[in-house]
A and B are shown apart, each in its own frame.
Chain A
Amino acid sequence: MSRQMGDSHRRFLQTMMSNGVISSSQASALHRHCCETHGAHYSQEKVEDFISVINAQLQPLFMHIRKGMSEEDGLDYFALVNMAKTDITKMSSDYADNELELFRKTMDLIVDSENGTASSTDILNCADSLQTKKLKKKETEHVLNKFVQDKWLNEIEGEYTLSTRCIIEMEQHMRTIYPDLIKRCFVCHNIAIQGQICENAVCGIKIHLPCVARYFKGRTDPHCPSCNDFWTHEIPEVQQYSSQTLQSQSSCAKENTAGPSTSSTLATRRSRRS
């Protein structure tokens, strides 16, 4: 297999750059498309090798294509990460100062919350006390919309969460500024923002919703994998999370273009907490 960068890799990278984040099924379809377009050798299971060739070239430029799991649908996504600036300043070319401050405040709210969400009401309240320049209600809504469109936040029924892209890109940054608040998922060991937390105060482990679904699948009497206390939360259905079978269908790419935010799996999540 060639480790040399070719036009197939360049086309893949350019598509990553203009989209920011793509699902792993999209990555597979794109991998195939790029290889076929430029007559490069294609082997279906080699998408990660293909990406590692690109990453070797990106390394001196402090960029990296990194894989991460969506906290909502449990699927893998690839995001193009800029490691030169590991904080929010990388968004700075697209947003004004007060918009960035709003983003920071939103992130604070989300990370501070137990379940990894922030309500639009709470965010609107923040907008009133921005130090840079206050945002009116209408402006705040517009900016929040832009964050969703640019795939930094997801929104469902007025509740905001950090997008997969945001988590992949800003994991390092979040670990630095919220060292005590950021937990790892007990099941998959990745950073966990949205999830369920063990009610046992001395335990308090966190598990992603898709990981909860997989882990407790078929168990009528779920217990915490760490402290063995009863797991009090509602267990989401696993079927909704397991769509890895979509992998090789290129048609799914179209349905997915709206990004992870369109995931319908959230319906169950909403009923979980009072």
Chain B
Amino acid sequence: MSQRSAGSGARRSRPGRSQVILDDDEPDVSSQPSSSQVQRARCSFTPQQIEQKVAEVVQFILIKDQKKIPIRRADVVKHVVKEYKGQYPGIIRRAGQTFEQVFGLNLVEIDSKNHVYILVNKLHPLPGEPISMCPGSPKTGLLFVILSLIFMKGGTVKEILVWNTLKKLRVYEGVKHEEFGDVKKLVTDVFVRQKYLEYVRIPHTEPLEHEFRWGARAEQEVSKMKLLQFIGELHNEEPQTWTQQYREAASVESNPR
């Protein structure tokens, strides 16, 4: 990052078209070998222009991420990258570096077929922060309860069990909660779209039943070991008490993503 910004100043002074191609996929112009200035101007960009595009992509993703909605490549191309489409792989890679080096965020492709990304926080929010890193934390608390439940039950829980558990916390499926609003929507729709939870239909059930699993964002962002330590503290037990869960948490921890 520091090298990049230092370098960009130097590069800026010579707006040469010849050294446009960065280390990335170049636009497909080979089919039409044209030497005309017009053609070249249309297909090639100065490092400065690329730099600008990277900044715009970073901004775009940051704004989208505020709502924790996954970002689709198609949207990034349509709204920001536009005519720089041929440079997309390079631009998105540079944006990823920026997220990591400036913001401490990882840009993770959670669906490589449809090219869907989320931003994952590398710096775990901590208790006792002077100002919360993630305001709106009551909802995070609710989410943690559900994630813990799923984790402790081996990775999948039926919907009915989730609601029964939440009842003990005075959160009811069909009742508007003063902090969470429409809880059913929050849990089965918002958290699901944010990729914290998966909410899937159990086949061959009549009437229809659903179950919950961890979503891709939770897998990336939530430390199972920290979760287990937290649960251990609640029950006044060592995390090792839960052998299977401990083994799973330890294996994730030793294979950094």
Q: Which residues of A contact B (CB under 8 A)?
A: 4-5, 7, 10-11, 13-15, 17-19, 22, 26, 29-30, 32-33, 37, 56-63, 82, 84, 93-94, 250, 253, 257
Contact = CB atoms under 8 A, between A and B. Distances in A.
B15 to A, nearest CB: 17
B63 A11 contact: no
Contact of B130 (A5, A60, A253): A253
Contact of B132 (A18, A57, A61, A84): A18
Contact of B102 (A13, A82, A84): A13
Contacts of A15: 129, 131-133
Interface stretch (B53-61, B110-118, B189-197): B53-61
Contacts of B101: 5, 57
Given A29-B130, A33-B129, A84 B59 contact: yes
Contacts of B130: 26, 29-30, 32-33, 250, 253
The 6 closest A-B pairs by CB, nearest first: A10-B104, A29-B130, A253-B130, A57-B102, A61-B55, A93-B63
Interface string B17-59: 0000000000000000000000000000000000100011011
Given A5-B102, A10-B102, A13-B102, A59 B129 contact: no
B98 A14 contact: no
Contacts of B104: 7, 10-11, 13-14
A31 to B, nearest CB: 9
Interface of B: 1-2, 4-5, 8, 51, 55-56, 58-59, 62-64, 66, 98, 101-105, 121-123, 126, 129-135
16 contacts: A10-B104, A14-B121, A17-B103, A19-B135, A29-B130, A30-B129, A33-B130, A37-B126, A57-B102, A60-B5, A60-B8, A61-B55, A62-B55, A62-B59, A93-B64, A257-B132
Nearest to B55: A61
A59 B64 CA distance: 21
A250 B131 CA distance: 10
* Dominant secondary structure at the A interface: helix
Nearest to B56: A84
A17 B61 CA distance: 13
Given A10-B102, A61-B58, A62-B55, A18 B5 contact: no
Contacts of A30: 129-131
Contacts of B103: 10, 13-14, 17
A33 B58 CA distance: 27
Contacts of B123: 7, 10-11, 14
Contacts of A22: 131
Contact of B134 (A18, A59, A60): A18
A124 to B, nearest CB: 26
Nearest to B100: A10
Contacts of A58: 102
Contacts of A257: 131-132
Given A5-B101, A7-B123, A60-B8, A26 B131 contact: yes
Contact of B131 (A29, A82, A84, A93): A29
A59 B5 contact: yes
A215 B63 CA distance: 41
Contacts of A63: 59
Contacts of B55: 60-62, 84
Contacts of A7: 104, 123
B135 A93 contact: no
B133 A14 contact: yes
A5 B5 contact: no
B237 to A, nearest CB: 27
Nearest to A84: B59
